[in-house]
Chain A
Amino acid sequence: MVPSRKRRGLAEIQLRIAEFKSSGLSKAEFAARLGVHPLSMERWLRITQQTQPTQPPQPAQSIAFQNSPAFVPVICTPSASASSADWPESVAPSGWALRLPPGLDPSTVRSILDVLPAKRPGIEGILWNGNLHESPLEAHCLNNPVRFIDRNATVAEAGFSRWMVPPAAIAVHMCIGQIYGFSVFSKPLTQAVKGQAWTIPQVGWIYSIALVLLGLSAAIAGKWVERSGPRKTMLASAACFCGGLVISALGVRWHQLSLLYLGYGVLGGVGLGLGYIAPVSTLMKWFPDRPGMATGMAIMGFGGGALIGAPLGVLLMESFKSTTTNGVAEAFLCMAGVYGVCMAVGAWIVRVPPEDWKPVGWTPSVKTSAMITTSQVSVDIAWKTPQFWLLWIVLCMNVSAGIGILGQASLMCQEMFGVSALIGGGFAGLLSLFNMGGRFLWSSVSDFTGRKQVYCIYFLLGALLYCLVPLSQRTGNRMLFLALTAVIISMYGGGFATIPAYLRDLFGTYQVGAIHGRLITSWSMAALVGPPLVNYLSESRKKAGVPAAEAYNSTLYLMAGLLLLGLIANLCVRPVQARHHLPPRRLG
C-alpha cells in the first residue's frame, strides 16, 4: 500500500548532509546542485544536529519489521505535493512506517512522531489515517487537516478515469482563451456613453498588459502552481480572471480606464498565467504514454476560447445595448459569472494521479531516446541551461510568425485579393478553426515523430508555405491562398501545444509546469513585438508606393525568415547534460 502523503525521511536528509560534507562545496553551491533552496540546506543541517545519526535498516531489522503487523513498508517519495516543493521526485526510496490506530489522539501521535526516528533507526515515520507522517518535518501537518483545495485532496481515488481530466483542463483553457476575442470590445469601448471617449491605442493597452502579465505570472508563480496543485491554482485563476472582468465592468460603468487596466489587464493577466500552466502539467502526468496528445487537448481549449469568446461577447453586447449603455459592462459581468462557474466545475473535477500511478497495461518503453530523459531537472537549474533558451527562441519565432498572419488576416485577404470585408472576416474565422484543430492534431503527431522532428516540420514546411503565399496572390488563386495559410496556422497552433511535451522530454515531469511558466515569457514577448513589426513593415511598403496587393509579400518573407531562425534554434537542441539532473535518492 502506498500512502497518499509521502515525505522524505530523516535518513535521507542525513544522507544528503553527509554528501554535502564530503563534497567540499558551499551550502549555496550544493543547494543549487540539488535544485533546492539554500534555506532547505540550513533546515536539514539543524535537523541532523538535533538527532542521532540514523542508519538504513539492516536486513535483520527489515525482516523483523516485515514480520511485525505494526510496521508497513512505504515508498518515501518527496514530490511537488510535499510542503517542501524543492524536493525532487523519485520513485526509488523505500522505508518502513509504524502503523498507528486511526482513533488515536493527534497529540499522542505527535509525541510519538517526535521521538520515533531517533529510537528506531530506519523507520520513516508513522502511517496514520492513511497518511504518512514523518518527524519532525511532518508533525505540524497533524493539526492541519487536508482542505478541499489542497493538492492532497485532489489525489485520485481508485477507479478514477483519467479521461475526466481533459475536460477539466479544457474548461479552464476555454474560459481564459477569451482573451483572444477581446478585440470585439475594442470599438464599443471607444464609443463612450459618458465622458471623453477612449482611443483605440488606449484600449489596446488592456490586451497588451494582460499578455505581459500572463507571461510574468506564469514565470513567477510556476513553483507555487506545482506545489499547490491544480485545484487551488484553477480556483485562484478563476478568482483573478473573473474578478478582473467584474472590476473591468465597474471601470466601464464609471468610465475609469485605469480600472480596466487593473481588472482585465493586471488581474485578468494573472488569472491567464495561472490557468494556462496548471492543467497542462497535470495532464502530462495523467498521460505519460501520450503527453503530446494530452497537452494538445488542453491548449486546443485555449484556441477554442477565442471561437467562443468573440461571438459570445457580441451576442451579450447586442442583448444589453440600449440608449444608456453600450452593453460592454453587462457583457463583462455575464461572462464573469459564466466563466466562473465553468472554471469552478473544472477545478472540482480535476485530480492528480497517485505517485506510482501508470496507465493500465502501459509500461515505459525500454527503447530509450536521447531526447527523452528519465531524469528530473528543477526549474531553477532548467532555466539556466541552453536548452531552455533555445526552446524560448523556438516558441518566440513560432508565435511571431503565426501572429504575422493571424493579426491581420482579414485585411490581408481583402487587400491581396480585392475581396469584401465580409469575405475577409470569413477568412479570419476559418483560420481560427485551423488554429484550434492544429493544436490537437500536430501535438498528437509529435508523440509518434518526436518533438524535435515535428518542430523541424513546422519550421521548414512553414517557411516554404510562407514563400508560396505571394505566388497565390500573383495567380489570383484564392483557394490556394486559403490552403497555404490554413496549414501555416495549424502549425502555429501545433507549436504552442507541443512545447510543454518538449519540455517534459528534456527536463522530466518534476516542475515541468514551472519551467513551462517561465518559457511562456517568450509568448508575451512575441505578442508585444510581433504585430507592430508586421504592421510597420507592410505600412512602410505601401508608403514606398508598392501596390496594396503586393505590400504583404515582404512581411511574408520576413515570417519565413523568422521560422528559419526557429529551425536553427531547434536543431541546436541537445539532451540536457547529466550534471544538471537531480541526484537519484535511495534509502537503505
Chain B
Amino acid sequence: MMKRLKLAFAWLLVAIPLTWGALQSVKKSMPLFTERTAVRGQ
C-alpha cells in the first residue's frame, strides 16, 4: 500500500505541473483556431 502511495505521489509530482504547463500552452494557442481575420492582408 505504502509503495503504491509513493508511486502515485511521484507521478503526481510531475503530472500536475506538466498538465498545468500544457494547459497554459493550449490556452495560448486558442486564438490560432478562434481568430479568423487576417490583420495584415496579403
Contact = CB atoms under 8 A, between A and B. Distances in A.
B1 interface: no
Contact of A482 (B20, B26, B30, B32): B32
Interface string B11-34: 101100110111011111111110
Contacts of A310: 24
Interface stretch (A166-174, A236-244, A262-270): A166-174
Contacts of B13: 167, 171, 342, 345
A430 interface: yes
A430 B39 contact: no
Given A426-B28, A426-B31, A301 B14 contact: yes
A311 B26 CA distance: 12
Given A174-B14, A307-B24, A426-B28, A476 B40 contact: no
B32 A168 contact: no
A425 interface: yes
A349 interface: yes
A304 interface: yes
Given A419-B35, A422-B35, A427-B29, A174 B17 contact: yes
A545 B30 CA distance: 33
A432 B14 contact: no
A417 B36 CA distance: 12
Nearest to B27: A429
B20 A308 contact: yes
Nearest to A300: B18
A549 interface: yes
Contact of A549 (B3, B11, B42): B42
Interface stretch (A1-9, A156-164, A248-256): A156-164
Interface of B is mostly: helix
A432 B25 CA distance: 8
A307 B39 contact: no
Interface in A308-322: 308, 310-311
A433 interface: yes
Contacts of A301: 14, 18
Most chain A CB neighbours (cut-off 10 Å) among B14, B20, B31: B14
A426 B11 contact: no
A418 B17 contact: no
Interface in A160-197: 161, 163-164, 167-168, 170-171, 174
Contacts of A167: 10-11, 13-14
A171 B24 CA distance: 19
A311 B29 contact: no
A420 interface: yes
Contacts of B14: 167, 170-171, 174, 301
B25 A419 contact: no
Interface string A399-432: 0000000000000001001111011011111101
A482 B27 CA distance: 16
Interface residues of B, number: 28
A421 to B, nearest CB: 9
A12 to B, nearest CB: 38
B21 A304 contact: yes
Contacts of B20: 308
B28 A425 contact: yes
Given A170-B14, A342-B13, A414-B40, A159 B3 contact: yes
B9 to A, nearest CB: 9
A426 B30 contact: yes
A475 to B, nearest CB: 12
A342 to B, nearest CB: 7
A136 B35 CA distance: 74
A170 B10 CA distance: 10
A164 B10 contact: yes
A433 B32 CA distance: 14
B25 A430 contact: yes
Contacts of A311: 21, 24
Contacts of B24: 307-308, 310-311, 429
B26 A429 contact: yes
Contacts of A549: 42
Contacts of B38: 417-419
A121 to B, nearest CB: 45
A397 B29 CA distance: 28
A92 B11 CA distance: 36
B39 A419 contact: yes
A417 B18 CA distance: 31
Interface of A: 159, 161, 163-164, 167-168, 170-171, 174, 301, 304, 306-308, 310-311, 342, 345, 349, 414, 417-420, 422-423, 425-430, 432-433, 436, 476, 482, 549
Interface of B: 3, 6-7, 10-11, 13-14, 17-18, 20-22, 24-33, 35, 38-42
19 contacts: A161-B7, A163-B7, A167-B10, A170-B18, A307-B18, A308-B17, A308-B18, A418-B39, A418-B42, A419-B35, A420-B31, A422-B35, A425-B28, A427-B29, A428-B28, A429-B24, A429-B28, A430-B32, A433-B22
Please give me the 7 A-B residue pairs with the lowest Cβ-Cβ distance, nearest first: A307-B21, A429-B28, A308-B21, A418-B40, A426-B32, A167-B10, A430-B29
Given A418-B42, A427-B29, A430-B29, 12 more contacts: A167-B11, A171-B13, A174-B14, A418-B39, A418-B40, A420-B39, A423-B35, A428-B28, A429-B28, A429-B29, A433-B26, A549-B42
